[in-house]
Structure 1
């Protein structure tokens, strides 16, 4: 979100107040230009290798976002049959979709394989079942757990020894035994370290572990290093140096390919990195409560729309777009859910008044996809702003939507 010459905030020339007036509050807004910028940043950082970007669409599955990714040449990584079907509806072929489940029923894996998607196998029992079911007739990838702890929060670390994700690299002999017994065609090795990783060192460490394991597989076409790049959450916040990371990873990958004896494709599966900074949750202030202990700002939203602060303790920068030049005060910004749903504690904001619009930054990833109907509240509408035009890409829910699946009405 930028400021114009009058010091007012806007998204491609459209003010939050105008957007709320047209589409109501609360409202999710996505800036297509930011998504294009982030895709280009990743492509530029890894231009020295054969790169494929697989958008981890659990971050945001709106069909318009998926279609934009497809137009940009970005393929999909999904974690459920539902996400796979949404990808198909957005115009992807199943061959452009990778299914990376975690402990799902084997019937879901069969559904994905039979549809033509590439699957990432994340357990020895699943690998054994795959070999018994398909032998050498279908390709697959294997998700390796490198036993490296990295990430911005213990809840979003996915590669350490205690993580549920992937098959431990310490079980490599068991993996190879099953692969050789059934002549399984393993075309790729995959790992995902976690999220919000700023420094290059963890990426390089897990890459070396994966490269070392890859020497034991004869049919590889792909090395998939997952995602987890750090995005900026507040002014001046440190981010992953993509240019430096791209240079270092590319150099190591090229050396690995030379040693392996053929060129391979390098995959990344960013989710938050591609869409987080594009998104804003626009809310309206309902009550400003001045309390002896704390000033509270109540808004017309809650953890049912943006659960990350309560679930992860995540920081979302908040802008008072209605009064950007007001005197600064300290506030607790809280929601309307009958729970403690605190978005921000002791946050310094320009003076907040009833009916002001507060914009939550970094709301493009894991906002609407993790939302709920708790307290029988409706999910907000979603709007995509592209080339200065705002388009409704998902309408606001109604009571009819909440009751649609209930019986006995």
Structure 2
């Protein structure tokens, strides 16, 4: 069956071809995700982290044989899974976990047990998920780099979204005239994410708009380029996919969802609209977490409106990553040193706490000026020993790198910001909450030859399970090869 763009559908997309005009009424809201250095300085830190008491943190350390380590709360994972599975929808919902956020196999298996599928970002992630027992048909691949074996993955049952014109051409060439089903990822012309207030400008966590390379530019859909390729190879478009970035403004997200539905009108074979993820999670006091019911209800209504107009009841897909795992994870470290640059003359200086972890374990503070709450716990691992005195400090990592900074100014990764924390001594425990997403999976592995940190899971009964061993020194360089003797 050939999929042709109807004149009505093309007319809709032609009207949307001017990104500025289409989205001119939308004003990005002031993000509540950025807390000023002043407010961070003034707040009284908690005695315990999100889910780790001093005693439980010590149990994690014992199971992992020391620090640093990542700890994950099964109770928090369960709550976030419940929230996502209850996302408002009109005609059916598939939740896909963006596994790049935290790809540990135990976490993949848990979400699979809850009926959550997988959003993979590379062919390697696809294979990794399958090795963990995830059925191929429950995996969707949207990748900047289409793997060389994509045709084999498709035959196994993996769903692939073509994310560029060349990817769509390669897909068509591999499955010409077979009515092979394919998804198409479209850049709708705007984005939302990070510390940028612009819906069209550059931000490192903004994956939509003219400053983003992700997806097929929407004008290449409305001008007939994409429909002509689909027709040339006899493909069957089953899904439209859009994703605009992290920390998305609800107004922009809802408008993009409605625009994405107009792309679905191009092919009568489309059965599913995938709206990506990027739902903001508040890590600190005063930060708001996205209300999924609030942003989802109007979108579900839009799906119903589409069904009335086009006679098709589309299924919805979402791809949360951060929302599912961010606050379920914490980095547990030891304060291994404490130094001061304050002079007796009163000149400006700082007290520095040096962790036995850093950008090797939590990279995003260094990249984006992200803010993670930090809690100081006593070295004894006893709640009765939690101190009451406070001090203003700068927290840094263990790498021989000036940019290894754990307390940057919000949105300014190269600027220092002091944090008021409980007074720490060498040997005390420091917990960085909100480290479940894009930490273990995104770390600068093995910089300064520091090994990858182990991971543990805290179950519903408070028991701790090792789910990833600490990497050994030999494992860091075991793939290096010697050259022949006499070469130098």
Q: Give the TM-score band, short-chain normalised.
A: over 0.9
TM-score normalised by the chain length of structure 2 = 0.79
Name the residue aligned to 2:114. Answer: 72
Q: Specify whether residues 277 and 248 from structure 1 end up closer, same or farther in structure 2 by C-alpha distance, changes over 3 A only.
A: same
Aligned counterparts of 1:98 and 1:309: Cα–Cα separation in 2:
29
How far residue 11 of structure 1 moved from its aligned partner, in angstroms, is 3.4
2:386 pairs with 1:333: no
Contact 1:384 / 1:390 at 8 angstroms: preserved in 2? Answer: yes
How far residue 12 of structure 1 moved from its aligned partner, in angstroms, is 7.0
Of residues 139, 161, 164 in structure 1, which corresponds to 2:210?
161
Map Cα deviations across residues 336-364 of structure 1 (whole Å, 9 max, x no partner): 10102010130111111111111001111
How far residue 325 of structure 1 moved from its aligned partner, in angstroms, is 4.1
> What is the DSSP-based 3-state SS (H/G/I as helix, E as strand, rest coil) of the residue aligned with 2:86?
helix
Q: Specify whether residues 12 and 298 from structure 1 end up closer, same or farther in structure 2 by C-alpha distance, changes over 3 A only.
A: closer
Contact 2:261 / 2:306 at 8 angstroms: preserved in 1? Answer: yes
TM-score normalised by the chain length of structure 1 = 0.94
Greater RCO, CA 8 A, separation 6+: 2
Name the residue aligned to 1:196. Answer: 247
2:259 pairs with 1:187: no
Contact 1:35 / 1:274 at 8 angstroms: preserved in 2? Answer: yes
Name the residue aligned to 1:319. Answer: 375
Once the two structures are superposed, the pairs formed by residues 76-115 of structure 1 within 5 Å of their partners are: 76-105=118-147, 107-115=148-156
Q: Specify whether residues 15 and 167 from structure 1 end up closer, same or farther in structure 2 by C-alpha distance, changes over 3 A only.
A: same
2:236 pairs with 1:174: no
2:406 pairs with 1:343: yes
How far residue 403 of structure 1 moved from its aligned partner, in angstroms, is 2.5
> What is the DSSP-based 3-state SS (H/G/I as helix, E as strand, rest coil) of the residue aligned with 2:70?
strand
Aligned counterparts of 1:369 and 1:385: Cα–Cα separation in 2:
19
Of residues 250, 263, 277 in structure 2, which corresponds to 1:227?
277
Contact 1:8 / 1:324 at 8 angstroms: preserved in 2? Answer: no
More strand by share: 1
> What is the DSSP-based 3-state SS (H/G/I as helix, E as strand, rest coil) of the residue aligned with 1:15?
helix
Aligned counterparts of 1:156 and 1:134: Cα–Cα separation in 2:
33
Of residues 455, 459, 481 in structure 2, which corresponds to 1:382?
455
What is the alpha-carbon root mean square deviation over aligned residues? 1.8
2:404 pairs with 1:355: no
Of residues 254, 258, 262 in structure 1, which corresponds to 2:308?
258
Map Cα deviations across residues 170-229 of structure 1 (whole Å, 9 max, x no partner): 1111111111222211100001110122x3211111112111111111101110000000
Matched residue count: 402
Name the residue aligned to 1:407. Answer: 481
How far residue 101 of structure 1 moved from its aligned partner, in angstroms, is 0.8
Map Cα deviations across residues 227-269 of structure 1 (whole Å, 9 max, x no partner): 0000012012122121211211111122113322122210001
Q: Specify whether residues 308 and 108 from structure 1 end up closer, same or farther in structure 2 by C-alpha distance, changes over 3 A only.
A: farther
Contact 1:233 / 1:361 at 8 angstroms: preserved in 2? Answer: yes
How far residue 324 of structure 1 moved from its aligned partner, in angstroms, is 4.7
Name the residue aligned to 1:303. Answer: 359
Long gaps (5+) in structure 1? 1-5
Contact 1:283 / 1:301 at 8 angstroms: preserved in 2? Answer: yes
Name the residue aligned to 1:20. Answer: 61
Map Cα deviations across residues 313-340 of structure 1 (whole Å, 9 max, x no partner): 2111111122654222111100110102
How far residue 391 of structure 1 moved from its aligned partner, in angstroms, is 0.5
Of residues 207, 222, 236 in structure 1, which corresponds to 2:257?
207
Aligned counterparts of 1:48 and 1:359: Cα–Cα separation in 2:
41
> What is the DSSP-based 3-state SS (H/G/I as helix, E as strand, rest coil) of the residue aligned with 1:52?
strand
Contact 1:382 / 1:392 at 8 angstroms: preserved in 2? Answer: yes
Name the residue aligned to 1:370. Answer: 442
Map Cα deviations across residues 114-134 of structure 1 (whole Å, 9 max, x no partner): 332010101112212222221
Aligned counterparts of 2:146 and 2:50: Cα–Cα separation in 1:
43
2:51 pairs with 1:11: yes
Once the two structures are superposed, the pairs formed by residues 121-136 of structure 1 within 5 Å of their partners are: 121-135=162-176, 136=178
Name the residue aligned to 1:245. Answer: 295
Aligned counterparts of 1:206 and 1:352: Cα–Cα separation in 2:
47
Contact 2:59 / 2:464 at 8 angstroms: preserved in 1? Answer: no
How far residue 282 of structure 1 moved from its aligned partner, in angstroms, is 0.3
Map Cα deviations across residues 70-116 of structure 1 (whole Å, 9 max, x no partner): 001000011112211121122211111001111435x2432422332
Aligned counterparts of 2:49 and 2:137: Cα–Cα separation in 1:
42
